[in-house]
Amino acid sequence: MKRRKLALQTKGKNDIYHKVGIIRISKEENEYFFEIGSDVTSDVAEAVAMMMRKIDWNDPVWDLEINDFIIENTAPEKSLFWLSGGYNEWRTLENYNKPWCDCYLDFQEEFGYLIINIIKRTKTLGGIKDNFIKHLNLPILYDFAISKNMIK
């Protein structure tokens, strides 16, 4: 109960969702802003990919309807970065043999339109998450990386 009260007290005027110290989502006109931990983005697809790593899958944020957002703010390579391993994977190169800067164009070429189609046709953050799990899960991305000799 105290957490909820604290969240309500610190909620900004444009906030549509706020969980103290974890996530804040605000909207100004047709643009969404996501603060997830220390990361900030206006890219809905990237935000969902980041939240998949940090937010419980039963959290009410996944029910949040996203509409009237600026599709041009979506850069598929950003969400593909997080879906394929994020900072932990691409900084350490524990499984990949090339850095992200050498791989992202291949990922974008293969999966970019899929990400755009997912966010265009899906109404909730949870729907985007579910489509990412179905069509862009780690085994699918790793199989692609293996086919392009990106995996050790």
63-116 confidence digits (pLDDT tens): 999 988 888 889 999 999 999 999 999 999 999 999 999 999 999 999 999 999
Q: Is residue 21 within 8 Å of 7, Cβ to Cβ?
A: no
Q: Against a cut of 0.75, is the pTM above it?
A: yes
Joined tokens for residue 118: 């997912």
pLDDT digits (tens, 9 = 90+) for 33-52: 999 999 999 999 999 999 99
Neighbouring C-beta atoms of residue 56, cutoff 10 Å: 11
12 located within any domain = yes
76 located within any domain = yes
152 located within any domain = no
121 located within any domain = yes
What is the extent of the structural domain holding 67?
Answer: 2-147
109 located within any domain = yes
Q: How many domains does the chain have?
A: 1
Listed in sequence order, the DSSP H helices in 19-99 are 44-54, 76-83, 86-92
What is the predicted pLDDT for the residue at 3? 36
40 located within any domain = yes
Burial of 76 (0-12, 13-18, 19+ CB in 10 A): buried
81 located within any domain = yes
Joined tokens for residue 98: 């090339």
